[in-house]
Amino acid sequence: MHGYRFRLPLDVLLRLEGLELTAHQLRTFLGAYWFMSIATNDQPELVLANSARPKTIRAAELRAEIGTPGCNDSRWLRNSLRGLRSAGLFTMLELPDNGRRFTFQLHRKVGEDSLKPKVFAPLYTGHIQRCRTSCDILFYCRAAMVAGRNWPKFDLPGIGDQAPARPWSLCRDGWLRAAMRVSEMLDHSYLLGPVTGAFDVRPSRVEVKVQHDKTSWSPGKLYKFPVGTRPYAVKNGQRSGTLDADELKRRIGHTEITL
């Protein structure tokens, strides 16, 4: 069963993005949702009905699919439960002292979020294993969600001056490292453009453009950003410095991302 694919609906991802979860807490939730996908034959619209009763999975199985490679115990799983119990994602979370079986029941709201999965992220448990941080996991989910489009792009979650959002200057390094790791994992290239609105003094959002061998970016589109935006280019696990207006103008006809 190792290396399983499942779908995560957009509304469920939006719920995760609105919470300040650690990487282990995100792993635990995604592991539970993956297990639900087995019970529903990967039909998210059936999650609500299948959440009426608790589900139990061997902790070793969950660890093998979602846990960090090389981890041989369930301490990370046990530590993740503390914050998850108050996050509104589960109505039951249990891991006995021997740590062998994990029992959970998804919250009804998660089931309702799954009813109409018109937009979803196709995820792979092997990729989640390779993620190190919460930024890695959330960036991966967003990149996977748009990867099949001709001109894929998305905004990073939680960027801004108003709480609970965080200023770009405080979280920039974490997101750039996440983009670098996911670029290697998915064989993608990215442009991360911090956009400052007309009435803002700092970036109010960060637009991410995705390029790979199946995208269809046309000249004049890939490197086009609002005035004043200085994007970073990420490719093959490496990144550039910021690209200024002159460099963007020089690349405006390009349809592939280079460093």
Which string of DSSP letters, residue by residue, matches 144-167? HHHTTSSS-EEEPTTBSSSTTSB-
Per-residue model confidence as pLDDT tens digits over 147-205: 999 999 999 999 987 767 899 999 999 999 999 999 999 999 999 999 998 888 899 99
Per-residue model confidence as pLDDT tens digits over 14-49: 999 999 999 999 999 999 999 999 999 999 989 999
Share of the chain above pLDDT 70, in %: 99
CATH number, domain of 60, equals 1.10.10
Residue ranges making up the domain that contains 166 = 151-251
Q: Are residues 159 and 215 in the same domain?
A: yes
Question: What are the residue ranges of helices labelled H in 147-259?
Answer: 168-186, 245-251
Residue with tokens 């670098």: 180
Domains held by the chain: number: 2
Q: Given this model, what pLDDT does residue 15 score?
A: 96
The pLDDT of 244-251, averaged and rounded, is 98
Residue with tokens 């890939």: 222
Long-range contacts formed by 49-57: CB under 8 A, 24+ apart: 49/111, 50/111, 51/105, 51/106, 51/107, 51/108, 51/110, 51/111, 53/105, 54/92, 54/103, 54/104, 54/105, 55/103, 55/104, 55/105, 56/101, 56/102, 56/103, 57/31, 57/101, 57/102
Q: Is residue 189 part of a domain?
A: yes
Q: Given this model, what pLDDT does residue 1 score?
A: 43
Q: Is residue 38 part of a domain?
A: yes
The backbone torsions φ and ψ at residue 169, rounded to the nearest 5 degrees and listed phi first, read -60, -25
Do 117 and 44 contact (CB within 8 A), yes or no?
Answer: yes
Contacts of 5 (CB under 8 A, 6+ apart): 42, 122, 123, 124, 125
Q: Is residue 22 part of a domain?
A: yes
Q: Is residue 124 part of a domain?
A: no
Return the amino acid letter for 258: T
Q: Is residue 256 part of a domain?
A: no
Instruction: Tell me the whole-structure pTM to 2 decimals.
Output: 0.96
The pLDDT of 80-98, averaged and rounded, is 93
Is the pLDDT at 2 greater than 80? The verdict is no
Mean pLDDT for all residues in the chain: 94
Report the alpha-carbon distance of residue 138 to residue 10 in Å, rounded: 12
Q: Is residue 192 part of a domain?
A: yes
Most confidently modeled range among 54-68, 114-128, 172-186, 191-205: 172-186
Report the alpha-carbon distance of residue 171 to residue 203 in Å, rounded: 12
